[in-house]
Structure 1
Amino acid sequence: MKKTFLTLATSAALTVAVGVATPALAQSSAITNAILSQKAGQLDKAIVSIDQAIASDKTKDKDKPKAWFTRGDIYYQLVDPSTQALFGKYAKDMKPGEPLQKAVESYNKALQLDGPTGEYGKQVPARLQNLYGLAFNAGVAGYQAKDYDKALEGFKLASQINPQDSTAILYSAYTQDAKQDYAGAKASYNQLLGLDVYKSKPVPVSVYSRLLSIAKEEKNEAEAKKVVQQGLAAYPNNKTFLIEDLNMSMSGGNNAAALDKITKAIAADPTNANLYSVRGSLYDQQKKTDLAQEDYKKAISLDPKSFDAQFNMGIYNFNQAATLYTKASKMDLKTYQAKGKPLEAEGKRYFEASVPYA
């Protein structure tokens, strides 16, 4: 805190030498009085004095950055772990989180007025970084205590201090999810998508997963499709998004697109028996029987209990047998004597092949 008091001796000397000659000097004196009270540990008096300086239109423009910075330092002492035990009593009548919020507000105003290279403005980033840690830790403590409103307040303030920090925004979204504020969580997850850090790399896959879940909970099909496409653009081989995309195509009756998508899904998840079974069904619909049989057999080899693949294999062989028996039964005697027996024998082989899948 040494830098805070660099101008203290000069200001005090000026006050003693010239007294309170003008309103402007009176407000400069108010700043000095705030600093003196702060140094003496009388933060209640310091707050009164500095608020007078801040509120007065008589405070000179050149003194305003100092006033706001001093105000930030006073409120900072109320939340600084190294001084909170000593000065925390002065915050007992304030709302929870108010000292931290006012410290942030004050430092930001000092930076706005003084610029990043000014005497006070250049000190602000380090102060804000410390406050960021305090706000974030307050959020974590609230979350662990299941006080989600308090947690969200901390994470939101941390995000306000450092708008490009992804962690505070992500934790805000997690907190909103926990309190079932899905609209808020959706806004926070989408806020992550716009951060500079994610212009060169994708956001965590969990962000797309949660956005998809929220869209489903809201029964917003258009939004769900949009999220799936965003997820696939960021993670082209993610099997969850591939399968979601596949299901959307199939539910829309677009089997041609579904076939292409399921092949990609199989490439991403080659041991998923269900995918082979579904692709086999699509091949069946396209009368590509040989390809369908290959997929059903692959599905069964991966999962011998795969009901769909077993059923489809059984049905295929049974239908082949029935077709051959029917064809033989419709032959006249002469044709049957020439060709009927081989057809029935082939039909029997198909029928026997269907039995293991029954």
Structure 2
Amino acid sequence: MKQLFFLALSFLLISTTANAQDYKDAKKAYNTFTLDHFNNKAKLKDAKDAIDKAMGAAENQAILDAWVTKGKIYNSIAEEVLQVKTTGLGKLEELPTAEAPAVEAYSAYAKALPLVTKKFETKDILAGFQAAQGFLDNFGRVAFEEQKYKLAYENFQLLLNSHEELKKNAQKSILDTEEAYNYAMFLTATAALLAEKNDVAKPLLEKLYQAKYDKAAIYESLYTMNAATDINAAYTYLDEGRKRYPEEISLLFADINHHLKLGKLDILIEKLKAAIAQEPNNVSLYTVLGSVYDNLYQKAETAGDKAKGEEYFNAALDYYNQAIAKDAKNVDAVYSIGALYYNKAAVTTQKMNTLENDYSKEGLKKYKEMKEEVFAQFEKALPFFKRAEALDPNDTNTLIALKEIHAKKNELEASKEFKRRLEVIQGGGKNEKPYYQQ
């Protein structure tokens, strides 16, 4: 029994020792690969499998050489993968599978660094960081193009980290120039934003803003991130960006949306006209400008300024018509003209209702005139709502307008049909075909 116990203990010790030495198997396979990259690709796979297994053992995680070996293996994987992707020579199937080899390589060297006990031991680690930099940059860009933004961010962030480590040790970095460093920071911030890591992106963008880095997107992004907490303070970024990049259309659109949120319609008109001058074929700009004038028309009518109201009404109609002239199937513009006439009828109806109890000759006459005017506006609105329904038979607003107009015209069957169609949508269904044909 005693002899069996010692045999079991010996086996345990042998097994533990074997696990601790697994990283040397990886090192051996890797060294064989380096002798002939072209013919020994299988050895790189063996090296990866062995190092991944070895680094799962706690005892290996305390060995500096094990981490350096892992860093070298994953840098080589990154190099081989990039060579296949950029030159088309070789096959990815011949190489080890690793989604983020440059990230793995950097992380291995970073874990090796605290284990250094002698100054000369940092040499391999710093060389590993330098080699990893190019791979982190390239893999970050590839991931970005493939819309893998979290992965792109991880590569770019470690590229920045590698630069800091190299600078601490007075070593060369591919980010040594101000332009290279700022561009890497911009890529990191952009990838972080798209990966929904605003907390990471914001300080990077602030640094770029302070450095006056030449990218219009910095100003738009900082505006967007700050608008939720203080829209007026956020606008300072947008305003500064617009002054620095007056021709940048994305900043102009952000400016337009800002003033739309605030309802500053007079300012919007100027900005929308500027946008149309820059993008004359952008139909949505004409529609938005038409809606701004429509809004101003309703305000003027409510205030009793008939002359100004008519001016705004005509301007709205003009821009909606310009939109349709550029795209006859633009449902927003088509619907908006119908709504413009419909709303005019609604304003007139409100005024008409004030005369309901006026039975004087003059009052009755005015009431009749207004009623005729209301129906005239409905008649003008109806063709546009019909066209809008033909283009989109499932728009709720269009169906409501058609139901109401047909009811007011005493066309009850048509009104019931649109009520039924409306109920289909409200029940989660869809109308397969429009009622009106184009």
Scaled by the length of structure 1, the TM-score of the pair is: 0.50
TM-score normalised per structure 2: 0.42
Which one has a bigger Cα radius of gyration? 1
